[in-house]
Structure 1
Amino acid sequence: MSEQSPTPPSPNIDRAPAVSVTTPRDGLPPLLSTPAEISDAAATLAAGSGILALDTERASGFTYSQRAQLIQLRRNGAGSFLIDPTHCADPVTDLAPLAAVINPLPWLLHAADQDLPCLRQLGLKPPQLADTLVAGRLLGYQKCNLGHLTEEVLGLHLSKSHSAENWSRRPLPESWLNYAALDVEYLIELWDALYAEAHDRGRDEWIRQECEFERCKPDPAPKQDPWRSTSRIHILKNRREMEIVRQLWISRDKLALQKDIAPGRLLPDRLIIALAEQKPTTEAELKRVKGTQRTRQRSRWLGAINGALAVPEEKLPAFRLHAGHSIPHQSQWKRLNPAAAENLTRCRAVTDEIAQQLAIDAQDLVAGEALRTLSWSLTEPTPPPSVTESLRSSRARPWQISQIAVPLSEALHFPLQ
């Protein structure tokens, strides 16, 4: 589905100042954690009507796991609820009455991809999904976090001062709970307004497809070599440095799991790369690496480095893997595959132009991975049968394919069908 004349939303300079909201309309709901409290909340939600607004708070950047530290729910006719799953003796069992009520309901979240994995861990999963972040992005709003959307669309200013807190802390301060409750307080009104706009502009089907894609997207499968995801690993120059990264990453991950601490708080990726490059073997040498002055567990990291330096050459990990469908980091394309690099430049020029015409971000029009797969595969001995098929295999949605398949085919001089 394509718009006749897309017009991006723009702030109304004559709009009245936003109304500041600091507490929920019906007051701060109590924090629930016992089976009886959760069962009562479920019964009240069952008596409500319409879509169910949800949110979670996690302790990203603080804890090793991404489990839900707090669940916020709201439904018209039922009000808002705050549930603390960390105090449940058995979260899945204790939340079963809630799951029985809300799992058949359509859900509404903001940035659902952040919340759905931890909710699934608790036995909570929706049959239908709406996402205000998806709606805002596909309608062309420049700032799509919940605070900005609520202010621009509803004229309400929500304080977002507690967005980066350590939500594993107990007890949770009242100001944090107010913040959390407000995340669902106006979510239904926001969705109604965004969906009405999407329907008027012919983008409601785009949003439906994107929300269904997010709902059905599986949790990422465990990576065979997760240490290879270390930030900036592609700058390393040899297999010995790769082995240092591997051993540092594994040592860090074991300690992080043991202490339930986010790995980056123990040793940031940037320091893993710096240590791999400089290869300190003593504490004095390690201290000279920029950024390590306050690093703890120095003996642990030195042990990993020295262990990596002792590995025989023939047992070092492959420096770069390129086999089957794996594709090298794009920074290497001009050297390894100039034709693919040229394809990617053409693809990006096409999709950037279309995204600009539609007033949306190019990444929302098509995932960068889809363009990289297409660009690289056209230089392989057996290229994809068509641009459309390549996009489909990369899980591009029908609305995206309808916008970009023909222009990409023309730019790449490759058949559409």
Structure 2
Amino acid sequence: MTTLALPRYATDLHALDELPTHWVQTTDALYALIDEIDSVDVVALDTEFIKRTTYYPILALIQINTGKAIYLVDAPKLDLTDLWQALIEVPTMVWYACGEDLGIFYLLAKCPPLNNVFDVQLGVAYLSGKLQIGYSQAADEILGVHIDKGESQSNWLARPLTQEQENYAANDVRYLLALYQAVQSELKARQLYDYACEDSHSYAHELHDTQNLPDDQLYLDLIAPIYTRRQLALLQQLTIWREALARATNEPRSFIIGKQALREIVQQMPDSIKLLARTTINRAALRRYGDEIVRIVRQVNAMSENNLPPMPPPSYHSKDKPFKNAVNDAVENFSQATGVPAILLLKNRWINQLLQITAFDGDISELPRELHGYRKALIVEQILPILGEYKAQIVSVFNQPPQSAS
């Protein structure tokens, strides 16, 4: 396990251990909790849910630490509409690795993008330069608390929960406020807190966009550079059909067509059951959905060129990156000046977008939200000018045709 090399934060662990835990299983208890949330400026949250055999996650439990007590909200029993609203309005919601949790929040609350989210995992990354540090490691190294994660795969819909499950659920938020306060204090001391907040808010907006992506755009995340426009059309139509079916039957997408089989179908475009059977599609799915898949393949084969989706912007696929050292130097200098770990400043997918802007004279307004915040000076004043010096090389790579599909 990688050591974070962060200062140990002094906190009253006994007081945290003695924080009372209350079940919320009635409407009266729920509104008492809402009243308490309305009286504080920050709450820590976590969720427990089941999503192994369903399309929609089944929310089993919400854990909330108000600083006064820990609440275990029995989600299946209650109408949570007013709870979502109270959480939307609280000044700061603290999570740890909030990706899946916020996806469920947006699904159930049906709210606009949240601007009150702080992801402590992001804060830890700003302090340590380490990505994906788990909650238990952060709590151990910063607070000196050991958190047992042995119940993570429990059946959270079981009632009553075992004492071990209840302790596990409560501990997921018992120390989270203190961890947030420790991380916040160190971030402010290093003048990094505003940056971490900015990225937390951007992440919350990105998760909202992902949760609300129209069905006809889902295929964009599955594109391979070797696909032709007709193969893209098949990928788009299959993902639209699969999504609607998964939603209607409330089963995972992979139960209908897994990723590998989907890739094979798109590449081979089988227009008969016999040809479809040669892919790795599940035999049960072949029997249930084979005729419909073949119908979609034939329909796409009959589409006119004008109705096919456009090719996506190309990816920079060459290992030859003459600009790499200069970009790395600029990032490192910016890191030294700001204290932001270099690993957080420029993601690979952002680099590809910057290369596209350089090659095709794109508009920087199309860049991701994160690149319009504190990183904008780095991007506009340093990275784009560097890439501009290599524009001819970048254009030549983008103009190279991708390898043909097999």
Q: 1:360 aligns with which of 338, 341, 349?
A: 341
Q: How does 1:148-163 map to 2 (within 5 A)?
A: 148-163=137-152
Q: Which residue of 2 aligns with 1:3?
A: none
Whole-Å separation in 1 of the counterparts to 2:373 and 2:275? 55
Whole-Å separation in 2 of the counterparts to 1:53 and 1:127? 15
* Alignment check: 8 A CA contact 2:21 2:72 kept: no
Q: How does 1:123-202 map to 2 (within 5 A)?
A: 128-142=116-130, 143-163=132-152, 169-171=157-159, 173-174=161-162, 175-202=164-191
Whole-Å separation in 1 of the counterparts to 2:65 and 2:177? 9
Whole-Å separation in 1 of the counterparts to 2:271 and 2:368? 47
Q: Which residue of 1 aligns with 2:75?
A: 85
Q: Any gaps of 5 or more consecutive residues in structure 1?
A: 1-7
| Bigger helix share | 2
Q: 1:370 to 1:158 in 2, by over 3 A?
A: same
Q: Which residue of 1 aligns with 2:352?
A: 372
Q: What is the alpha-carbon root mean square deviation over aligned residues?
A: 4.1
Q: How does 1:3-402 map to 2 (within 5 A)?
A: 10-11=4-5, 25-26=18-19, 29-30=22-23, 32-45=24-37, 50-60=41-51, 62-66=53-57, 68-76=59-67, 78-88=68-78, 90-92=79-81, 95-96=82-83, 99-100=85-86, 103-120=89-106, 121-122=108-109, 128-142=116-130, 143-163=132-152, 169-171=157-159, 173-174=161-162, 175-214=164-203, 219-220=208-209, 221-223=212-214, 225-229=216-220, 231=222, 233-234=223-224, 236-239=226-229, 241-279=231-269, 288-290=278-280, 292=281, 295-311=283-299, 313-315=301-303, 321-322=310-311, 327-331=313-317, 345=324, 349-350=328-329, 353=332, 360=341, 362=343, 364-380=344-360, 382-384=361-363, 394-402=369-377
Secondary structure of residue in 1 paired with 2:45: strand
User: What is the TM-score when the length of structure 2 is the normalising length?
Assistant: 0.74
Q: 1:107 to 1:305 in 2, by over 3 A?
A: closer
Q: 2:382 aligns with which of 394, 400, 407?
A: 407
Q: 1:313 to 1:295 in 2, by over 3 A?
A: closer
Q: 1:343 to 1:68 in 2, by over 3 A?
A: farther
Whole-Å separation in 1 of the counterparts to 2:278 and 2:230? 21
Whole-Å separation in 1 of the counterparts to 2:204 and 2:285? 41
- Give aligned-pair identity as a percent: 18
Secondary structure of residue in 2 paired with 1:289: coil
* Alignment check: 8 A CA contact 2:46 2:101 kept: yes
* Alignment check: 8 A CA contact 2:43 2:65 kept: yes
Q: Any gaps of 5 or more consecutive residues in structure 2?
A: 390-406
> How much does 1:328 deviate?
3.0
Deviation readout 1:93-116 (Å, 9 max, x if unpaired): xx35x7448724432222345433
Whole-Å separation in 2 of the counterparts to 1:308 and 1:135? 46
Whole-Å separation in 1 of the counterparts to 2:227 and 2:206? 35
Deviation readout 1:37-75 (Å, 9 max, x if unpaired): 20122344556x552111223435543235744211112
> How much does 1:315 deviate?
0.5
Q: Which residue of 1 aligns with 2:396?
A: none
> How much does 1:372 deviate?
2.8
Secondary structure of residue in 2 paired with 1:222: coil
* Alignment check: 8 A CA contact 1:267 1:295 kept: no
> How much does 1:267 deviate?
2.5
